[in-house]
Structure 1
Amino acid sequence: MDVQARSLVDGAASGELLVSHTSLSFWGGINPETGIIVDQHHPLCGECITGRLFAIPSGRGSCTGSGVLLELLLRQRAPAALIFQHVEQILTLGVMVARAMFERSIPVLIISAEAFASLRSGSPAVILGSVLTTGHPIPPASLSTSSTGMPRRSVQLTTKDKRMLEGAYGPATKLAMTILVDVAEMQAAETFLDVSQAHIDACIYIGPASLTFAERFMSLGAKFAVPTTLNSISIDQRRWREIGMNAAIAQEAHKLAEAYMAMGAVMSFTCAPYLLDTAPKSGEDIGWAESNAVVFANSVLGARTQKYPDFLDVAIALTGRAPAAGCHLQEQRLPKLRIDVRHFPGADDAYYPLLGYHVGKLAGPDIPLITGLEHADPSISDLKAFGAAFATTASAPMFHIQGLTPEALNTVLDSSKLPCFEVTNNELIDCWRQLNTATDPSVGLISLGNPHFSLEEFAKLAALLTGRKKHTGVEVVVTTSRAVAEQASQAGYIEVLEYFGGSVINDTCWCMLDEPVIPLNAKNIMTNSAKYAHYAPGMVHRKVHFGSLSRCIEAACNGVVTRAPPVWLTTPTLELQYTF
């Protein structure tokens, strides 16, 4: 069967199809050294994508997926091709960078929902340009694997854009603008726009490819054109020896961070840049990567950014320009579905991350309007936890909460024609069970700060810890930025934590930490982060207890976890309804 496709990256490939109707984050979902799917919540967990035509509806979760794909390509562990149902810029960008900088490429196609539904794992398939043929393999020797590149460019360029593309601002800016134009073409953007700031996620050390990318730009004299912050890096830069981190990785991670600071980035090292004094204002166009940061900026702050992949964030910082597409445009910020939820006045703080995790699954690539929380009073930390969980399971770059978030606060967004879902207790209980993968009540580590802890969260933590001591068999570790750690220290919260027996790690975050920060003898981890509860089983090979902050502290004191869902969650509610 021949399928006419849209080619995002042209090329040719043949092989066996590997198909899933569940989206996947490559970061935390695929081992970049082996090509094996490690996301234990994904139906293809354990499968290897190397050399296969890998078909998923889209990516989801982390912006670092582009970095993982680049690493796979340079290690020759990548799929033979990528096939999507929706335009997928994070993973496609990884291929574009590999092609532009390292002469490595694979085809990337978009096919219709009907054609995607017909694909079957194990079937032979061939890609030639924009045609996908299934069921009749062609010998690899008869295929040309060279890429013919993107279609002729139609995006409108200003005089300055053209000069950057021609090299007038130096070779680094020229390369950055070349990548940006390819992405703008993929997105059918008509023009570029100025951004006021950038946040770089590409500073995470995944492997040699991430450092090679940065050093290539350094060698070309790269300098950032707009104020730029850095995401969490892969080490606590000041204490990595003290906490026992791998010296070889620490040295490479240090080089990567130093490279971006040499280009002009500030030493922020946080996955929660919205907590910094430089946080953008409503309506401000920015160029941010890091999935939870993007969702928070768009949804809670009302700033405007696409969910930019690693490496594209660097290109935006170098040029100060971004495609006028996606959430930069008002019409692309409107909700595509409505999700009705029940507010639980007696719920603990596990409610918002649990709800965000489920809402993200329902939303997928579509921006949701969430109703039912109009009389709730979520804190900034609640919205942070909701957004991080939402960003883990959705590919959408934002959400609206009626009566709470800026664009749904004073204006009632028209949802009369939107498909509607109503969330039930049973669905949240099911999500609770998915996140609670531990099969026994033991716990060896309490993991807090994914995303980075805020001062508000430190205050709540200190109130729970005052006058108490942790169990000797449990480690308690909080990750946060240097800026928040200093504020928490001045407020006396760090002293309370240390008296309890806990500690703080700066610069890095849980998605980058492994043994021995994860204790060797810890069978299970407990966290109040739905994001980390999702990723940890695949990333650090530990089972997880998920629960509220107070439950985490009770577990830290007792050495065991109360495993039953909280009482507020077991109250019956209405059955799921669908309205079209």
Structure 2
Amino acid sequence: MLELTAREAAVAAGEAGQGAAMAMRIVAEAARLMGAPRLLPVASAHIDGALYHGDSGTLFAESLVAGGARTAVRATLNVGSLTPSGCAAVRLPPHQHEMARRMMRAYEAMGCEPSWTCAPYQAGHRPARGTDVAWGESNAVVFCNSVLGARTNRYGDFLDIACAISGRAPDYGLHRPENRRARLLLDISGLSVPLRRSDVFYPVLGTLLGRRAGSAIAVIQGLQGCTDEDRLKALGAAAASAGGVGLFHVAGVTPEAPDVATALGAEPPQETIIVSPQDIAATLASLSTIAGDRIDAVAIGSPHLSVAEVEALERLIGGRTLARPIYANTGRHVLAALPAGQRRALETRGVVFVADTCVVVTPILPEMAGAVLMTNSGKFAHYAPGNTGYAVVYGSLAECVESAVAGRVKREARAWH
């Protein structure tokens, strides 16, 4: 049975204002539903609820503002529905555009940082290992838990801001050390080393992990010396989209997995999956929804591109002009770090920067019959057909660039075997 402290009960009763009371009651009710015995103090939050899905979300945020609600902890903001001037144009109708604008401003009025990125961990928001936080946005959650070793559940829209205002979260799930132990062993050590060291592999592996693990926690064996933050970012994003993954371990890489035995809590795995080249080939094929060589656009940056990924894009394009646009989705912190000449050169060649949002969550891509989107993102491959109406072709970043230059799908030789 949930027990509130005297201070928590007082806030829920309205002592700190109606906005704070609403937030505390929401968190307390969520804790009751989850069977949590108490609330935990959290050090920070990442808010996914500021993306416009309807007027009710805007009115909810504005009611919190009217009640005097302010965030009690650091709170960064996930993508919204609008881009800043100078970036890609959003095709929202006037009423929806205005409600989306009001929603974004309401969250800022509550004290949330206007980061507007799905990769806050690359914008300076990196809670320490073992810290309890309340994060929304599935890729941010899985990165926070897995790569940083902080502790959060997958906090959905509106519960995330309630946690940020109250400074509390339900004490259950991945906040508890005993629930962070791996139950599943995913062994990829039989795959070729060149494949394991290629960027294009990680969204495929993440998709396989999400589909096989669901919400179970896995430890991956075989990535030592093969990966980096951007690759782990891609792996986690695909796993969280294809399944309910909130935490994975990589033996010898992630902070809670110095080795397989530690990640498993010195117990045998409930299931061991030996990943074969055939498994990878089947998963790779499933990320494309259409055959043929037509493409109408390329979209990269889900999760948002890092500075290193923008630099890789620039190297691959070189001095060439694109026959199809590449929509480069990234955070304002990355655009601010790019030299002005670098950004202008990329835009001149056909790159369309999308900041503060992405092409899959708000209407940016042109409407056209039978359109095809090429991407190197497992998350885009999962969501784009339903959200944009575009069919999807999956490929490496190099393939995406070569295809955009040629105006049709171009493939490169790979070490998929």
Same fold (TM over 0.5): yes
Which residue is equivalent to 1:427? 279
Q: Take 1:432 and 1:396, find their aligned partners in 2: how far apart are those partners?
A: 19
Cα displacement (A) at 1:520 = 3.2
Q: Specify the code of the residue in structure 1 equivalent to 2:154.
A: K
Instruction: Specify which of 140, 145, 157 is matched with residue 293 of structure 1.
Output: 140
The share of aligned pairs that are identical, in percent, is: 35
1:525 aligns with 2:370: no
Q: Specify the code of the residue in structure 2 equivalent to 1:294.
A: V
Q: Which one has a bigger Cα radius of gyration?
A: 1
Q: Specify the code of the residue in structure 1 equivalent to 2:366.
A: I
- Does the 8 A contact of 2:45 with 2:163 survive in 1? yes
- Does the 8 A contact of 1:445 with 1:519 survive in 2? no
Cα displacement (A) at 1:206 = 0.5
Q: Take 1:246 and 1:555, find their aligned partners in 2: how far apart are those partners?
A: 32
Which residue is equivalent to 1:120? none
1:418 aligns with 2:270: yes
Q: Specify the code of the residue in structure 1 equivalent to 2:230.
A: S
Secondary structure of the 1:339 match is strand
1:407 aligns with 2:259: no
Cα displacement (A) at 1:519 = 5.3
Sort the Cα spacing of 1:205 and 1:239 in 2 relative to 1 into closer, same or farther, 3 A.
Answer: farther
CA RMSD, Structure 1 to Structure 2 (Å): 1.9
Unmatched segments (≥5 aa) in structure 1: 1-153, 572-580
Moved more, 407-416 or 534-543: 407-416
Cα displacement (A) at 1:241 = 8.5
Sort the Cα spacing of 1:457 and 1:415 in 2 relative to 1 into closer, same or farther, 3 A.
Answer: farther
Cα displacement (A) at 1:354 = 0.5
Cα displacement (A) at 1:311 = 0.7
Q: Take 1:424 and 1:411, find their aligned partners in 2: how far apart are those partners?
A: 19
Instruction: Specify which of 104, 107, 117 is matched with residue 260 of structure 1.
Output: 107
Cα displacement (A) at 1:193 = 1.4
1:183 aligns with 2:30: yes
Q: Take 1:312 and 1:356, find their aligned partners in 2: how far apart are those partners?
A: 27
Q: Specify the code of the residue in structure 2 equivalent to 1:525.
A: L
Cα displacement (A) at 1:338 = 1.0
Q: Take 1:341 and 1:411, find their aligned partners in 2: how far apart are those partners?
A: 13
- Does the 8 A contact of 1:287 with 1:317 survive in 2? yes
Cα displacement (A) at 1:218 = 2.2
Q: Take 1:361 and 1:544, find their aligned partners in 2: how far apart are those partners?
A: 19
Cα displacement (A) at 1:291 = 0.4
- Does the 8 A contact of 2:12 with 2:20 survive in 1? yes
Secondary structure of the 1:451 match is strand
1:204 aligns with 2:54: no
Which residue is equivalent to 2:97? 250
Deviations 1:410-469 (A, max 9, x none): 674235243111112222212222111122211110101111111111121111122222
* More helix per residue: 2
- Alignment length, in residue pairs? 411
Q: Take 1:288 and 1:242, find their aligned partners in 2: how far apart are those partners?
A: 28
Deviations 1:48-80 (A, max 9, x none): xxxxxxxxxxxxxxxxxxxxxxxxxxxxxxxxx
Which residue is equivalent to 1:465? 317
Deviations 1:242-292 (A, max 9, x none): 555543322111100001111111111111111112321212211110000
Deviations 1:461-512 (A, max 9, x none): 11112222212xx11111111111111236x542442242212111111321
Which residue is equivalent to 1:486? 336
- Does the 8 A contact of 1:445 with 1:522 survive in 2? no
Secondary structure of the 2:104 match is helix
1:397 aligns with 2:246: yes
Q: Specify the code of the residue in structure 2 equivalent to 1:323.
A: P
1:560 aligns with 2:408: yes
- Does the 8 A contact of 1:510 with 1:532 survive in 2? no
Which residue is equivalent to 2:74? 227
1:315 aligns with 2:162: yes
Which residue is equivalent to 2:175? 328
Q: Specify the code of the residue in structure 2 equivalent to 1:220.
A: G
Q: Take 2:261 and 2:357, find their aligned partners in 1: how far apart are those partners?
A: 39
Q: Take 2:403 and 2:275, find their aligned partners in 1: how far apart are those partners?
A: 29
Q: Take 2:71 and 2:239, find their aligned partners in 1: how far apart are those partners?
A: 31
Instruction: Specify which of 383, 388, 396 is matched with residue 548 of structure 1.
Output: 396
1:194 aligns with 2:58: no
Secondary structure of the 2:99 match is helix
Sort the Cα spacing of 1:264 and 1:360 in 2 relative to 1 into closer, same or farther, 3 A.
Answer: same
Secondary structure of the 1:168 match is coil
- Does the 8 A contact of 2:82 with 2:90 survive in 1? no
Secondary structure of the 1:352 match is helix
Higher relative contact order (CA 8 A, sep 6+): 2
